[in-house]
């Protein structure tokens, strides 16, 4: 019978999941709590994206795992984390488990209904993350004013492809922090970039792999929903 453990066993065997902390976080977040209730059981634990409503998808498990591995050293207990386009809430919950009671994960999702749904998802899976304030999921657009007044973050995960690297996000990275972000226009070549800000504030970029993500949209741009 397929299960979250079965899925993580596969990701481990394929070498996508490498470290214990990532493995534990993925085992403890059950994908069944983050997808539409009408999705047949056999599909929940397949390594592919699934619909979560509002024309959006929960990312494929290997992408969740890859991003957690890339950010692992910045998801230490007590870290302050931003999840952009938090969608289903899956990754925000997984990162919440990694940063512990002293940590903080803020998820920002442009669809208010989806932000609400993601709170219900996390409540089903790990209510303590919401009750102790480690995970906070908000409606807002990060290319609008959603990050105004926010302190910088140790780790930033971006779950939607930006047409170019957004300055507003680079600014919100602490010195010594890391961001993983897919960059590239919709239907064009997109690359996962790893952005490191060194302790002096200098920014280093690395291209990692070709990817396919939904677009990170500007406020008021509804073309993706039509």
Which of 197, 191, 208 lies closest to 69, judged by CA?
208
> Does 216 interact with ligand SAH (rule: CB under 6 A)?
yes
If one asks whether residue 143 binds ligand SAH (CB under 6 A), the answer comes out as: yes
Neighbour tally for 116: CB within 10 Å = 13
Q: Which of 44, 97, 106, 142 binds ligand SAH (CB under 6 A)?
A: 142
Only segment of 16-24, 40-48, 83-91, 169-177 that touches ligand SAH (CB under 6 A): 83-91
7 counts as binding ligand SAH under rule CB under 6 A: no
- Directed axis angle between helix 112-125 and helix 90-99, to 10°? 50
Q: Under 8 Å CB-to-CB from 171, ≥6 apart: which residues?
A: 152
Comparing CA positions, the residue from 178, 145, 158, 2 lying closest to residue 79 is: 178
Is there binding between residue 125 and ligand SAH (CB under 6 A)?
no
Annotated catalytic residue within 3, 48, 59, 88: 59
Tell me if 181 contacts ligand SAH by CB under 6 A: no
Neighbours of 208 (CB within 10 A): 13
* Per CB under 6 A, 31 contacts ligand SAH: no
Q: Which stretch binds ligand SAH (CB under 6 A): 39-47, 107-115, 126-134, 170-178?
A: 107-115
Stretch that binds ligand SAH, among 21-29, 102-110, 178-186, 190-198 (CB under 6 A): 102-110
Residue 221 to residue 162: CA distance in whole angstroms: 13
Q: Does residue number 111 form part of the binding site for ligand SAH (CB under 6 A)?
A: yes
Residue nearest to ligand SAH (CB): 85
The answer to whether 172 contacts ligand SAH (rule: CB under 6 A) is no
Contact residue for ligand SAH among 110, 126, 178, 197 (CB under 6 A): 110
Structure token digits, residue 212: 């396919």
Catalytic residue flag (residue 59): yes
Token pair recorded at residue 42: 């056999």
Instruction: Report the length, in residues, of the chain.
Output: 226
Nearest to 124 by CA among 214, 18, 34, 60: 34
The CB-of-157 to ligand SAH minimum distance in angstroms stands at 7
* Structure tokens that stand for 12 in this block: 């481990």
> Given the rule CB under 6 A, which residues bind ligand SAH?
56-59, 84-88, 90-91, 108-111, 114, 141-143, 159-160, 214, 216-217
Catalytically annotated residues = 59
């Amino acid at each position: 019978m397929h299960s979250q453990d079965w899925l993580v066993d596969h990701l481990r065997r394929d070498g996508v999941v490498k470290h214990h902390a990532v493995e534990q976080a993925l085992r403890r977040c059950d994908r069944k709590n983050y997808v539409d209730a009408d999705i047949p059981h056999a599909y929940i634990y397949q390594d592919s994206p699934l619909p979560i409503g509002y024309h959006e998808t929960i990312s494929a498990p290997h992408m969740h795992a890859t991003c957690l591995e890339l950010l692992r050293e910045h998801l230490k207990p007590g870290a302050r984390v931003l999840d952009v386009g938090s969608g289903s809430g899956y990754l925000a919950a997984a990162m919440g488990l990694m940063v512990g009671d002293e940590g903080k994960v803020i998820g920002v999702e442009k669809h208010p209904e989806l932000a609400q749904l993601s709170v219900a998802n996390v409540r089903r899976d790990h209510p303590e993350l919401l009750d102790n304030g480690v995970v906070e999921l908000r409606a807002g657009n990060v290319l609008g004013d959603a990050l105004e007044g926010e302190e910088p973050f140790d780790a930033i995960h971006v779950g939607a492809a930006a047409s170019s690297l957004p300055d507003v996000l680079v600014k919100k990275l602490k010195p010594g922090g890391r961001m993983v972000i897919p960059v590239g226009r919709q239907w064009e070549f997109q690359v996962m970039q790893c952005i490191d800000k060194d302790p002096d504030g200098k920014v280093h970029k690395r291209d990692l792999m070709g990817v396919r993500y939904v677009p990170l949209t500007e406020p008021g741009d509804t073309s993706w929903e039509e």
